[in-house]
Amino acid sequence: MPRRGAGVRLLKILVGMFVFNEGEKFRTLLDDPAWKSLDCDLLVLDDGSSDGAAALCAERGVRVLSNERNMGVGYSIRRFLDEARAGGYEAVVIMAGNGKMPPSDIPAFLDKLAAGCDYVQGSRFLHGFRSPNLPLGRLLAIRLGTAFFNLFLANHYTDLSCGFRAYRIAPLFEDGRIDIRQDWLDRYELEYYIHFKFDRLGYRVAEAPCHMRYPKSGKNYTKIKPFVGWWSMLRPWFYLILGLKK
């Protein structure tokens, strides 16, 4: 693998896990033994949880930043990126704390970064279908949404709604054409804004295979609200394509 090959410089990488009232799912994820074998640091972003997430991190010796109230994932990602930059990290991996994304998949993202990629998008559909119990409605929405997004991108992607992602830090702060400080990017918008910018500005982008573990019941697998959440993901594309935002 590239990251472990001779002559490849290892990057200083921070993993950001984002959590909001995930309860036992978050506890199980923190206790996953795969963390012990990873060459990266972990920082939890608690977006105003009321279920003791911050206290659990303290018990496990995991560093945590907590928002006083629920501010949205985009706001939390900005805060995380600021912390990563201040800590001298060169790249970050972003994942949800709801138990759907296993840390054992992180090395695939690290390998892509070490090979020179600036942005790595996780995909449930590379190298075979790897998302057991994925609800049919969710599958159709992912496929349709990805097909729509691909109409406006330079590259072709298999899965653009997966929240498992990795970025190099420098472009997000040093490229004047990318402005992550805009106040309309506080929720799901920021992730899709970054993807659009990295792709359209010619940065090196790739996909990495990952699992997405869904509950067998098919219930409570996402906090994305119908219509409101969907618009939050779609509007960066409309704004940027139409030139309404920068």
Angle at 103 between CA 94 and CA 54, to 5 degrees: 65
Q: How many CA atoms lie within 13 A of 111 on its CB side?
A: 13
**Alpha-carbon torsion angle 165, 139, 147, 156, nearest 10:** 40
Going by C-alpha positions, the residue among 56, 51, 77, 76 that lies closest to residue 66 is 76
pLDDT at 142: 86
When mean pLDDT is compared across 132-141, 164-173, 231-240, the lowest value belongs to 132-141
| 10-241 fold | Spore Coat Polysaccharide Biosynthesis Protein SpsA; Chain A (3.90.550)
Tell me the residue type at 160.
L
Going by C-alpha positions, the residue among 207, 215, 196 that lies closest to residue 125 is 207
The string of pLDDT tens digits covering residues 100-131 is 999 999 999 999 999 999 999 999 998 766 77
pLDDT at 226: 67
N- to C-terminal Cα separation, the chain: 37
